[in-house]
Amino acid sequence: MSEEINPFKIAQHQIDIVAEKLKLKKGIYEFIRWPHRELEVHFPVKMDNGDIKSFKGFRVQHNNARGPCKGGIRYHPDVTLDEVRALATWMTWKCAVVDIPFGGAKGGVICNPKEMSKTELERLTRRFALEISIIIGPEKDIPAPDVYTDAQTMAWFMDTYSMIKGYSVPGVITGKPLSIGGSQGRREATARGVMYTVREALKHLDYKVIPPEVWKKKCSEGELNDAICDGEEDSGYRIDDATVAIQGFGNVGSIAANLLTRKGAKVIAVSDSKIGIINKDGLDIPKVLTHKSRTGSLNGFEGASEEIGTKDVLEVECDVLIPAALENQITEDNVDRIKTRIVAEAANGPTTPAADRILHEKNVFLIPDILANAGGVTVSYFEWVQDLQQFFWSESDINMKLREIMVKAFGEVRDMSQKHQVNMRTGAYMLAVQRVADAIMIRGIFP
């Protein structure tokens, strides 16, 4: 492939673009191009067969000018330091764009969790938690789940840190089970944030939407089915028949599909790591979820009219395309075949800079990752606040607060992009980088 797809170089390139537009001071610009702190650890883990295996892990803290660092931990055989650096950098901008008081961090361990038992994963997690405990804490750096880590992983992590401290410290981690200080709505938060921003984009582009007072009246008069009306706490607009394709049917992609369907969208294509399925009349998402849960794959789903490749889903003609898998999925090689009006980046860094420029030239409205998928870190912030004050909110309160933050952030990014006549990604970065630069300058340089 001809274009550069090193994720950290991409992250730095994005800073370069906005630094010039914002006319940042040279010292501030050079400082935010690099992570503030990096920790690389090598540690042994006893495997179930008694062997000792060595693993490598990373924790990178990009910036803490606006508050403690925040970011997930991923377990994957392809984790690299540059990947973790990039993700930590993007977390800084993500927190700033939705205006929550965190900086960015990220962690990762090079391993293949699919080839490890639960007890091996527990021992790996506890040892990694011990290794990075010197730089994390509820007032310093708060990890969370990411690729191939989950609430159970976070429970082991929190317990290990608490054992080190000698008392329970639920605020050291987010994405925990509810029984040990987790938050209502956390599992759905990233996908829910995607749904809110997609809905705002459809409104912005004058797609047909149903105002809340209209659809509530239709619910009361029995014109909309129970799956749509039951449990609707959201007073926002409903989407009317916008078509959606989603690459990645994991936690974020599957929940986004379900939420968008409940809001009236028609999900016509989805893919997991093995296969994609399509039905232009609309997939029955609850049935797709049941099939995936039962078989572990989308393969063989009877409601599909066709099975396609995982990347082919990106090229399905639709109103909204949601890449919800890994980085660098929309590239210079396939961008000309993208046929959508809106790209909502549920994944981190799914679009390369070269593809970004081409999408803009094609008049595709892009909701950048640091905005589209910021629902997860926003509710992680809510979880951290609840842990610190030991007072917990209802799920409806969580969703209401999340909606307010996501809608406000979308509006601010849209306004910034229109004011400076740039695309939404550049508008989001200008907003976020300016907030971080302002924090650095107002705090001053020590000593």
Q: Identical fold at 7-171 and 188-367?
A: yes
DSSP annotation string for 315-342: GS-EEEEEE-S-SS-B-TTTGGG--EEE
DSSP state of 351: B
CB 60 within 8 A of CB 85: yes
Q: How many helices (H) and strands (E) does the chain have?
A: 15, 14
**Whole-angstrom distance, CA of residue 339 vs CA of residue 105:** 34
Specify the CATH class of 188-367 in words: alpha beta
Coil, strand, or helix at residue 431? helix
Res 228: pLDDT = 53
Name the burial class of residue 260, with classes exposed (0-12), middle (13-18) and buried (19+) by CB atoms within 10 angstroms of its CB.
buried
**Residue 241, Ramachandran bin (φ over 0: left; ψ between -120 and 50: alpha; else beta):** left
**Structural element, H or E, at residue 276:** strand 276-278
Res 316: pLDDT = 96
Domain range summary for the chain, segments of one domain joined by +: 7-171, 188-367
Please tell me the chain's helix, strand, coil percentages from 3-state DSSP, rounded to the nearest 5.
50, 20, 35
**Structural element, H or E, at residue 107:** strand 103-110
Question: Which of 183, 189, 197, 186 has the alpha carbon at shortest distance from 263?
Answer: 197
CATH topology of domain 7-171: Rossmann fold (3.40.50)
CB atoms within 10 A of CB 46: 14
Res 139: pLDDT = 97
The b/e string for 367-381 (b: 16+ C-beta within 10 A; e otherwise) is bbbbbbbbbbbbbbb
Q: Tell me if residue 419 is catalytic.
A: no
**Low-confidence residues of the chain: pLDDT under 50:** 1, 227, 230-233
**Whole-angstrom distance, CA of residue 79 vs CA of residue 36:** 20
Name the burial class of residue 212, with classes exposed (0-12), middle (13-18) and buried (19+) by CB atoms within 10 angstroms of its CB.
middle
Res 220: pLDDT = 72
CB 271 within 8 A of CB 249: yes
Coil, strand, or helix at residue 238? strand
Active-site residue, from 70, 106, 263, 292: 106
In 139-253, beta strands by DSSP E:
141-145, 209-210, 238-239, 243-247
Question: Which of 197, 171, 233, 186 has the alpha carbon at shortest distance from 391?
Answer: 171
Q: Determine the Cα angle at 334 with ends 329 and 335, to 5°.
A: 90
Res 43: pLDDT = 98
Q: Is the pTM of this model over 0.85?
A: yes
